[in-house]
Homo-oligomer: A and B are copies of this chain.
Amino acid sequence: MQVKGFLAAAVPAGIRYAGRLDLGMIFSRTPAVTAGAFTTNKVKAAPIFLDMERLRSGLAQAVLVNSGNANACTGQDGMAQAVATSAMAARELGIDESLVQVASTGVIGQPLSAEPFAQAMPALVARLSADGFDELAQAIMTTDLVPKVAEAKVLLNGVEVSILGLAKGSGMIMPNMATMLCFVVTDANIAFPVLDQLVKSGVERSFNRITVDGDTSTNDMALVMANGAAGNALIDDANAETAALFGSALFGVFKDLALKIVADGEGATKLATIKVAGARSEAEAVDAARTIANSPLVKTAFFGEDANWGRIIAALGRSACHFDQNRVAISFDKVRLVENGVFVGAAAESAATEVLKQRQFTVTVQLSEGAAEAEFHTCDFSYDYVKINADYRS
């Protein structure tokens, strides 16, 4: 799990708890073309403001990331700490601080102290290595049960390009941009406008199509750093075949990480894909799929392995999607349970119940209104979701 020219590391800095990996870094040997997508929540954490400002240059060389404290809703002091910690990293690395991106995840509203960062910075930088991505993936976990990593390789005119992505996210997960941190490094040689476009369209159809609880975080961000170390011919035309090949591989990494986030959703026992087909427009299909994917009644029915299509059609009905209730069909994987808006029968229900016993399944809602479709990925709502979130801060 290496990408040419990139190093990573993590150390326990004692930011919230002693003795756990909570401070990490990514470093590129040369400044990398970097594009990002950031939370659309109107409440944004200090690092988000700082990163968005700095990314106007389209370049970054390092990412400093901590867990344990989100540095959100921390006022002017929060911004001062974000700037100060990025400056510490820049000094230790010998680069300009404008090339450092910062990311935080953890509790909202607690003042962030720069002191643990100062203490840990020399050891963190000394530890940087091409093999450090595994420990970095662990350092960014909060309520995550598993680290999330995805890789891809793609041949561009005979030159192999590598893509390596890391993500964290388990709760406060819903799009715009999905509640999480995601860092992708690649040795591709690619121009900023092309990378930026690929990131934004890819995020829209991956991280922005998942939900755990419908809550959007203040700290979401996805960064893609491309340092060109692979030596492929510069991808500077979004319509070129190499852009399509690279974009497809990058999207595969996004999608893989997004599904891993949902599968590790707080308390999740099921990974469900909600597919809405036959809609008038993609926007309507997305809205319908999102509404179903967020319904607590649908999600608890999944937990109970109950093929309760009444809750699915009721959620569909409160979405902004146009349809005729007498033309709706609903399937669980290949089992058609509802046809023309009415129940098919007991045999179909038994078969659908079997589908729900799997860990992973797809619910398809066919509207027969048009040709547009969209998928949303969600998990079930279990006792453990309540347990995790009733107790999280204590």
| A contact residues vs B (CB 8 Å cutoff) | 40-44, 70, 72-75, 107-111, 171-172, 174, 176, 213-218, 294-297, 300-301, 303-304, 306, 308-311, 313-318, 322-323, 325-326, 338, 340-343, 381-383, 385-387, 389-394
Cα distance A338–B109 in the bound complex, in angstroms = 9
Least CB distance from A331 to B in Å reads 15
Contact A215 B325 (CB under 8 A): no
Best-surrounded residue of A42, A213, A218 (most CB of chain B within 10 A): A42
Cα distance A341–B342 in the bound complex, in angstroms = 50
Contact A73 B383 (CB under 8 A): no
Copies per assembly: 2
Cα distance A148–B391 in the bound complex, in angstroms = 32
Least CB distance from A165 to B in Å reads 25
Contact A296 B343 (CB under 8 A): no
Cα distance A320–B318 in the bound complex, in angstroms = 18
Contact B300 A386 (CB under 8 A): yes
Least CB distance from A340 to B in Å reads 7
- What residues of chain B lie closer than 8 Å to A316, measured between beta carbons? 42-43
Contact A306 B109 (CB under 8 A): no
Contact B304 A394 (CB under 8 A): yes
Least CB distance from A257 to B in Å reads 22
Which applies to chain A's interface (DSSP): helix, strand, loop or mixed? loop
Least CB distance from A129 to B in Å reads 35
Q: A109-B342, A215-B296, A295-B215 are in contact. Are A386 and B390 (CB under 8 A)?
A: no
- What residues of chain B lie closer than 8 Å to A110, measured between beta carbons? 343
Contact A309 B391 (CB under 8 A): no
Contact A310 B385 (CB under 8 A): no
- What residues of chain B lie closer than 8 Å to A215, measured between beta carbons? 295-297, 311, 314-315, 318
- What residues of chain B lie closer than 8 Å to A322, measured between beta carbons? 42
- Looking across the interface, which residue of chain B has its beta carbon closest to that of A324? B42
- What residues of chain B lie closer than 8 Å to A108, measured between beta carbons? 309-311, 313-314
Contact B314 A41 (CB under 8 A): yes
Q: A216-B317, A217-B314, A311-B108 are in contact. Are A389 and B300 (CB under 8 A)?
A: yes
6 interchain residue pairs of minimum CB distance: A108-B310, A304-B390, A43-B317, A300-B389, A41-B317, A42-B317
- What residues of chain B lie closer than 8 Å to A389, measured between beta carbons? 296-297, 300-301, 304
- What residues of chain B lie closer than 8 Å to A342, measured between beta carbons? 73-75, 109
Contact B303 A43 (CB under 8 A): no
Least CB distance from A309 to B in Å reads 6
Least CB distance from A338 to B in Å reads 7
Contact B383 A301 (CB under 8 A): no
Contact B75 A326 (CB under 8 A): yes
Contact A44 B325 (CB under 8 A): yes
Other contacts beyond A304-B389, A306-B392, A385-B386: 5, CB < 8 A: A72-B310, A109-B309, A306-B390, A308-B392, A383-B386
